[in-house]
Amino acid sequence: MGSDFVALSLPPLLIGLCASMACALPGNFLILRKQALIGDAISHVVLPGIVVAFLFTGQVSTWPMMIGAAGAAILAVLLIELIRRVGRIESGAAMGVIFTSMFAAGVLLLEQSDTSQVHLDVEHALFGNLESLIWLDAEGWASLFQIKALAGLPVELLRMATVLLAVSAFVYIFWRPLALICFDEPYARTRGIAATALGFALVTLTAIAAVAAFDAVGSIIVIAMIICPPATARLMVNSLRSQVIYSQVLAFMATVLGYMFAGYVPLWLGFSNTLSAAGMIASMSGVFLACAALFGPHRRRNI
């Protein structure tokens, strides 16, 4: 039982936790800046970048796809800002135009290219491949202390852990400026804070977290975790610090419960098929948000 858990459950669960928490952390500030839809946009626009990178390289390789996805995300941010300024339309409308157009282009590229044999298709783009990221070299809990066995860990785990640390470090270092531009941007500018540059850095960091998580967990978890845990925490507390802590706890709980419900509860109930881990994790985060909206102490507040 111990060996099965380490090999089959621990690495995917840890990857899901790192992805969920890394996406939820910048989501707190995006929601306060009324830019929550940017997370949705980014999670959609990385798809054409990933497909184009695959078509150029002919293989599923981490760094080319990361570069392609990052390029697509940055292009989308620039196009959104261009449409907003030139067309003088609301930013939400600009984001809606760009992310739907780019996601549709990515789907068309997937449908017209031969990518299904390498697990790069619409289904994997939406739900990822979290369940398949197992640790084949594990031989029980002792493998956690064996260098040779640790070398066989899925590369996605190291990548997502690194991104989580980078996002956490950014928030810790720029905590006060981020708080100021979220609550009173004009005052932050008078204090000499480069609000525009910091806001762009926040969006870029969100894009990095979304890109890193995309191939492992798919766009469903990315969208849910950028928005749901911070929004849930916002309905429960007034303090920004408490909101960030609560969002991380909620992302942790949604991932653990969602993964367990998807993989084990159907088997315990006698069903032969398991559920999508990504879909169940996103569903749990939605359940938490619904409960906070109905019963939270600040449910009447306009987020």
- pLDDT tens digit sequence for 266-288: 666 666 666 778 888 889 999 99
- Which residue in 217, 183, 169 sits closest to 25, CA to CA? 169
Q: What is the pLDDT of residues 28-69, one digit of tens each?
A: 999 988 877 777 777 777 778 877 877 777 666 667 777 787
Q: What is the pLDDT of residues 103-133, one digit of tens each?
A: 788 778 777 766 555 455 555 556 667 766 6
| Per-residue pLDDT at 147 exceeds 70 | no
Higher-pLDDT residue of 74 and 230 is 230
Q: Tell me the mean pLDDT in the region 14-40.
A: 86
Give the whole-angstrom CA distance, residue 103 versus residue 47: 6
Residue 1: band (very low, low, confident or very high) from pLDDT cuts 50, 70, 90: very low
Higher-pLDDT residue of 98 and 145 is 98
Q: What is the dihedral of CA 287, 293, 296, 300, to 10 degrees?
A: 170
Give the whole-angstrom CA distance, residue 211 versus residue 177: 25
Q: Which two tokens stand for residue 116?
A: 């299904």
Give the whole-angstrom CA distance, residue 167 versus residue 208: 9
Task: Answer yes or no: are the C-beta atoms of 29 and 178 closer than 8 Å.
Answer: yes
Which segment, 79-83, 103-107, 227-231, is predicted with the most confidence on average? 227-231
One-letter amino acid of 135: W
What is the per-residue pLDDT for 241? 93
Residue 302: band (very low, low, confident or very high) from pLDDT cuts 50, 70, 90: very low
Q: Tell me the mean pLDDT in the region 163-189.
A: 90
Which segment, 8-12, 16-20, 81-85, is predicted with the most confidence on average? 16-20
Task: Answer yes or no: are the C-beta atoms of 302 and 244 closer than 8 Å.
Answer: no
Rg (CA), the chain: 20
What is the per-residue pLDDT for 264? 74
Q: What is the pLDDT of residues 183-205, one digit of tens each?
A: 888 888 888 888 888 888 888 88
What is the per-residue pLDDT for 174? 93
| Per-residue pLDDT at 225 exceeds 70 | yes
One-letter amino acid of 97: V
Give the whole-angstrom CA distance, residue 39 versus residue 18: 17
| Residue 77, SS3 per DSSP | helix
Q: What angle do CA 208, 213, 219 make, to 5 degrees?
A: 105
In CATH, the number for domain 2-295 is 1.10.3470.10
Q: Which two tokens stand for residue 17?
A: 């936790």
